[in-house]
Amino acid sequence: MTSKLATLNAWVQEVAALTQPSHIHWCDGSAEENASLTQLMLDRGDLIALNADTHPDCYLHRSHPSDVARVEHLTFVCTKHQEDAGPNNNWMHPTEAHAEIDALFAGCMKGRTLYVIPYCMGPIDSPIARCGVEITDSPYVVANMRLMTRMGSAALARIERESQFVRGLHSTGDLDPTRRFIMHFPEELTIKSIGSGYGGNALLGKKCHALRIGSWQARKEGWLAEHMLIVGIENPQGETHYVAAAFPSACGKTNLAMLIPPDGYRQAGWKVWTVGDDICWMSPGDDGRLWAINPEAGYFGVAPGTGAKTNANALAMLNREAIFTNVAVTADQQPWWEGLDDRVPAKDWKGNDFVPGNGPAAHPNSRFTVSARRCPSYTERAEDARGVPISAIVFGGRRESLVPLVFESRDWTHGVLVGASMASETTAAATGAVGVVRRDSMAMKPFCGYNFGDYFAHWLSFDKPGAKLPKIFHVNWFRKGADGKFLWPGFGDNLRVLEWMLKRCEDRADAVETPIGHLPKKADLNVEGLRISDHALDQLLQIDEQGWAHEFEAITEYLDEFGGRTPPALRAEAARIAALLLQRNDQAA
Ligand code: GTP
Ligand code: SPV
Ligand code: MN
């Protein structure tokens, strides 16, 4: 097969000449194609069938033990000028980068099949959606892309109509970490990735296209490509408000997107609808509001911690047609991970006999891949070509101290500062140390395809006459008490915080003004049916003005890292709050 699009055929031929595959397969996305690829992977041992009674059509993939997470130190943004990539990205000149990575691609598909994957990020008929083609030699990537994107014939038809697509070239190579690179060429709408088969490094539609290249396109075209979940909150009156929330990797997006309301809320008629759990593309509509689509069609979620009490919706979608990566298995071949239940697994994520006390059975970044339609809280609005209107934007991170449960920004400029100055403890989603607090603006540190200074300016630019922008909030579900335990119950109970935010959006709740923003009055947070001490609530809603003054010193330094690219309005906003804090501390002294 070939395509009607000459530029696409030419690119496939060019790649084949470089990589020298023995076969070329154009993916149509059909069930038959998926069945034959699954069989191939079972035969090769790339997939292991799970218990067909409890988990029909579910498979386990064990990746190479050195290839289990994103590799930020090997991820590059290759613009002609280093300033355009910014200090937030690793940079290499495009000429040098192409030469270095093409040398690794030379002959790398010998004896392998080259798969051509046409895909669409977003509903196939949405003007906000964008298409790409990924070339890969990994059938595991094909199977995952089929769940994660609109992949195959329909996407190819749109690509041929538009004659435009993002090019992604991927090979698992030899999995040697010294020959692994994830390179982005935003000026050429091109991605090249070699040496890893793991999610964000290999499923190029996700972080590489939808965020790094997407953010570049979004800036040029006047929209936003963000690391955000999209969730619809339906109140007992039947009105649904959509919320977009940016938390860094493994900081709670999937869980918030699928939350199950606490008993009292459920009985009162509250419902939650999942539109997306990781990526959000937002564009201003004719009405001045921001309209959002989820460019993805499936979930690539963190397995550990997913249990009946924390995320029953996720559990319910994982009992058929799911791919599990690096989880443990029970003696009867059911998938298992820490936080699922009390059973003891038989094999750990590497396939060795599980030895209690010898580290976790499932890899901390083990994942599931499943179609969004399998989620009990799925809504057809996820297919709406216009997207959904966003009422509130939420930023959040993992902070064991200082940062309160929730606060609201005063206006858009302050909200952009709140997003820009976010920080969070690192997690197992990327290789490297875990639990280290770092700045992660808008949860986009690993994903913004250009200079953060320009990105902040782009965010500020949405505040113009006629715009009806969402309110911006900040949350922290991860504050710890003196005993080292989380102060806030989290998960479903996070709806209590969302309710306050939505009331604020409708001018139906009060707030306490503080230098860092507006906080709920203790009485305005519904804690009915919750076992939380008054002392814990006080801690969650308290502002340590001295601690915040230090935080603002660090934020000011951070904003300076982007030099002349940092918008003056953002510096001014930070200076205003820093001055306010100093003044209050002086008064207190
Ligand atoms: P990525 O897919 O990496 O982008 O992650 P994510 O942001 O979707 O994170 P996810 O929802 O998968 O949560 C990651 C981990 O945090 C899981 O182990 C969850 O159980 C845990 N978690 C999520 N929400 C909460 C919460 O409200 N409180 C606490 N204590 N833990 C949470
Ligand atoms: C993340 O790390 O933020 C993820 C998983 O959502 S990955 O697809 O690897 O990016
Ligand atoms: Mn993510």
Q: Rounded mean pLDDT of the chain?
A: 97
Q: Is the CB of residue 152 less than 8 Å from the CB of residue 28?
A: yes
- Residue 589 pLDDT more than 90? no
- Residue 80 pLDDT more than 80? yes
- Please work out whether the CB of residue 325 comes within 6 Å of at least one atom of ligand 2: no
Compute the distance between CA of residue 393 and CA of residue 223 in angstroms, rounded to an integer: 15
pLDDT for residue 27: 98
Q: Which atom of ligand 1 is nearest to the CA of 247?
A: 7
Burial class (CB in 10 A: 0-12, 13-18, 19+), 311: buried
Helices (H), 208-262: 214-221, 253-257
**Does residue 18 sit in helix, strand or coil?**
helix
Pocket lined around ligand 1, Cβ cut-off 6 Å = 247, 249-255, 277-278, 301-302, 304-305, 310, 429, 477-478, 486, 490-491, 494
- Of 189, 185, 225, 187, give the one whose Cα is nearest residue 207: 225
Query: CATH 3.90.228.20 occupies which residues in the chain?
Result: 226-296+381-547
- Of 57, 112, 133, give the one whose Cα is nearest residue 374: 57
Distance 376 CA to ligand 1 centre (A): 18
Minimal-distance CA residue to ligand 1 atom 23: 252
Query: Which CATH number is 6-46+70-222 given?
Result: 3.40.449.10
Of the candidates 27, 120, 131, 251, the residue annotated as catalytic is: 251
Q: Is the CB of residue 480 less than 8 Å from the CB of residue 401?
A: yes
**Does residue 286 sit in helix, strand or coil?**
coil
Distance 318 CA to ligand 2 centre (A): 18
Query: CATH 3.40.449.10 occupies which residues in the chain?
Result: 6-46+70-222
Question: Ligand nearest 204 Cα, by number?
Answer: 2
Minimal-distance CA residue to ligand 1 atom 22: 252
Residues sharing a CB contact under 8 Å with residue 237, sequence separation 6 or more, in sequence order? none
- Please work out whether the CB of residue 429 comes within 6 Å of at least one atom of ligand 2: yes
What b/e string do you get for 67-79 counting C-beta neighbours within 10 Å, with b at 16 or more?
bbbbbbebbbbbb
- How much is the average pLDDT of 206-234? 98
Ligand 1 mutation target, pool 207, 302, 427, most atoms within 8 A of CB: 302
Compute the distance between CA of residue 454 and CA of residue 457 in angstroms, rounded to an integer: 5
What tokens appear for 256 in the block?
Answer: 């918030």
Residues sharing a CB contact under 8 Å with residue 73, sequence separation 6 or more, in sequence order? 90, 431, 432
Minimal-distance CA residue to ligand 1 atom 32: 252
Q: What percent of the chain has pLDDT over 90?
A: 99
Could you tell me the pLDDT band of residue 299, with boundaries at 50, 70 and 90?
very high
pLDDT for residue 141: 98
- Residue 1 pLDDT more than 80? no
- Residue 443 pLDDT more than 70? yes
Question: Ligand nearest 245 Cα, by number?
Answer: 1
Minimal-distance CA residue to ligand 2 atom 7: 200
- How much is the average pLDDT of 339-353? 98
Compute the distance between CA of residue 160 and CA of residue 530 in angstroms, rounded to an integer: 55
- Please work out whether the CB of residue 70 comes within 6 Å of at least one atom of ligand 2: yes
Cα–chain center distance at 377? 19
What b/e string do you get for 394-413 counting C-beta neighbours within 10 Å, with b at 16 or more?
bbbbbbbeebbbbbbbbebb
The reply to whether 251 belongs to the active site is: yes
Helices (H), 352-470: 412-420, 452-460
Could you tell me the pLDDT band of residue 493, with boundaries at 50, 70 and 90?
very high
pLDDT for residue 187: 98
- How much is the average pLDDT of 349-370? 97
Cα–chain center distance at 466? 30
Minimal-distance CA residue to ligand 1 atom 26: 490
Minimal-distance CA residue to ligand 2 atom 1: 249
- Residue 22 pLDDT more than 70? yes
Compute the distance between CA of residue 300 and CA of residue 278 in angstroms, rounded to an integer: 9
Class for the domain spanning 226-296+381-547: alpha beta
- Residue 36 pLDDT more than 90? yes
Cα–chain center distance at 313? 18
pLDDT for residue 2: 85
Q: Is the CB of residue 140 less than 8 Å from the CB of residue 61?
A: yes
pLDDT for residue 17: 98
What tokens appear for 471 in the block?
Answer: 């309110």
Distance 481 CA to ligand 1 centre (A): 19
Single pTM value for the model: 0.98
Compute the distance between CA of residue 29 and CA of residue 411 in angstroms, rounded to an integer: 45
The vertex-86 CA angle with 84 and 87, nearest 5°, equals 165
- How much is the average pLDDT of 466-482? 98
Distance 172 CA to ligand 3 centre (A): 21
What tokens appear for 242 in the block?
Answer: 């959509």
Query: DSSP label at 430?
Result: B
Ligand 2 mutation target, pool 209, 228, 249, most atoms within 8 A of CB: 249
Q: Which atom of ligand 2 is nearest to the CA of 70?
A: 9
What residue has token string 């953002």? 570
- Residue 243 pLDDT more than 90? yes
- How much is the average pLDDT of 509-538? 96
Minimal-distance CA residue to ligand 1 atom 28: 490
Compute the distance between CA of residue 47 and CA of residue 143 in angstroms, rounded to an integer: 11
Q: Which atom of ligand 1 is nearest to the CA of 489?
A: 28
